[in-house]
Amino acid sequence: MLIIGGGITGVGIARDAAMRGFRTALVEARDLGAGTSSLSSRLIHGGLRYLEQGHLRLVRESTRERRTLLHIAPHLVRPLPFVFPVHQGDRVPLWKLAAGMMLYDLLAPLRNVRRHRILGKRALLAEEPMLRERGLVGGARYYDAQCDDARLVVATARSAMLHGAEIATYTPAIGLERSGGEVRGAVIEDHLMRHGQVRASVVVNATGPWTDTLRRFEDASARPLLRRTRGSHVMVRRERLGHTAAITLTSPIDGRVMFVLPWGEFSYIGTTDTDAPGPPEAAVPTGEDVLYLLRSANSCFPQAHLTEEDVVSSWAGVRALVADDGATSESDVSREHLIQRGPGGMLTIVGGKLTTYRAMASELVDAVADELTRREGRPRPDRAPTDKDPLPGGEAADLAPMRQTVLELGLGEETADHLLRHYGTEAAAICNLGRKDRDLLARLHPGHPSIEAEVIHHARRELATRIDDVLVRRVHLHYETSDHGALAAPRVAELLGRELDWDAEQVLRELEQWRAFNPPAGPPGGGETPPPPTTPA
């Protein structure tokens, strides 16, 4: 089978298929997770707000998948306490929140991180004293999980490759191959503009926001399946808000449920939910998005006085939701997924959410197995144990011994925590690189705990071939430093060049491309626009 699209859904399908024994290939137009899958709210959650919309099945599935991901990727998916304050006049009153929390726990028997607690005003302020006291009537404390979305994509892709899948990045699909009217592969183009064909029994469209464009390669008259909405986020220094837990709040502007989430020394605020009619690769937080997020956070933290000048970085992802003619507002559009067989036999998967990607992948590969059984009489393989096999780095939940190994190299506690949080047990491989070449133990950036050995690891094991692959999606310097990683870019280019056999001219070209992607910081709300892919696939 051939999968087009290297976001979380595509790599999840590749992993499941390879574990079942299918010969599996995946092509991606840019880097792994370069679209929506690295631009999310970084949450693996049961979907508390879906209870209001009556999507109980989705909540049950999400809580099950949350438990699974905590088990197979404990270094990337971590439990996170949430506090949900309720003020007089809020759209969600305290009695309704209490009822919802009880139902939330009931829908997740044996799968809950921890049970909720309803808090009075005094108890809530004792936990989060910087919250707005005026009008506060109480709230709830509950648990969900937070993840590193981009690294979850990379880990899933690496697991797929370890089970035999072939994955090619920066290799867009520019057309479909047909035989007897059926889609039997794709025409691809590599970074040198060379064309080739990949032939497959089944082709899967997992291109997220670009789904409808690829479907028109199969059927020029195909009606759109998607309603695309933009989710914007802004990152500020955590000290400005002074919160410990994640904060769930209802925006006083429009009553939407949103979050203020801790991320090390930072906090990020999100998300918006507005229609995104333009090209998905051009989505950035607008000035209106930034103002909305800051005003909503300031209403909850009145002493913060956040302004646009406090924004360290921002990002926006485009949700590929299944179009629902009955949904009037963006937030009402269902997060359920859909699998559709096209007139040429291509299987398309749309909708869903990050939390449920593994279950979506399993269902899609079931459909592939059914297709091959119907068409060729192949026996249907057993389902893959994707819920039990740990992702690379997730083989052990207790990383204390590994932490000691990192500290013995003299890297310090901040870097030790960084390595374990990003790589889990695979931090050992990075330490080994540092032992062989002590120069690689140097920091990449004076304001960030990442080290040079990570770049070598990214190039050798994680399919990183561009500077932004490293600084945006592998270690996040782009979001977590005031210069968006500019100080580290020349050294990253040098290290990648050493691994990928670049000459001096190519090193300079890669740096120029990075600087075009990452210009000097402009006015807040301008966002960061990634380089456009050459095709929608």
Q: Per-residue pLDDT averaged across 194-203, rounded?
A: 95
Q: Per-residue pLDDT averaged across 155-159, rounded?
A: 98
Q: What CA dihedral angle connects 366, 372, 377 and 381, to 10 degrees? A: -40
Q: Where are the alpha helices (DSSP H) in 178-268?
A: 211-218
- Per-residue pLDDT for 190 more than 60? yes
Asked if residue 198 lies in contact with residue 25, where contact means CB atoms within 8 angstroms, the answer is: yes
pLDDT at residue 529, rounded to an integer? 39
The confidence band for 191, taking pLDDT boundaries of 50, 70 and 90, is: confident
Q: Does domain 400-517 have CATH number 3.40.50?
A: no
- Per-residue pLDDT for 524 more than 70? no
- Per-residue pLDDT for 110 more than 70? no
Nearest CA to 111 among 79, 159, 140?
79
Mean model confidence pLDDT for the chain: 93
Q: Per-residue pLDDT averaged across 342-360, rounded?
A: 96
Query: Would you kindly state where each structural domain of the chain is located, as residue ranges?
Result: 2-35+150-225+334-376, 77-146+229-318, 400-517
d(CA 18, CA 412): 39
Q: Per-residue pLDDT averaged across 298-312, rounded?
A: 97
Asked if residue 175 lies in contact with residue 534, where contact means CB atoms within 8 angstroms, the answer is: no
The confidence band for 522, taking pLDDT boundaries of 50, 70 and 90, is: very low
- Which run of H or of E encompasses 228? strand 226-237
Q: Per-residue pLDDT averaged across 367-385, rounded?
A: 93
pLDDT at residue 451, rounded to an integer? 98
- Per-residue pLDDT for 330 more than 90? no
Higher pLDDT, 450 or 114: 450
pTM for the structure as a whole: 0.94
pLDDT at residue 76, rounded to an integer? 98
- CATH number belonging to domain 77-146+229-318: 3.30.9.10
- Per-residue pLDDT for 491 more than 90? yes
Q: Per-residue pLDDT averaged across 434-460, rounded?
A: 98
pLDDT at residue 106, rounded to an integer? 87
Which one of 3.90.190.10, 3.40.50.800, 3.10.180.10, 3.50.50.60 gives the CATH number of domain 2-35+150-225+334-376?
3.50.50.60
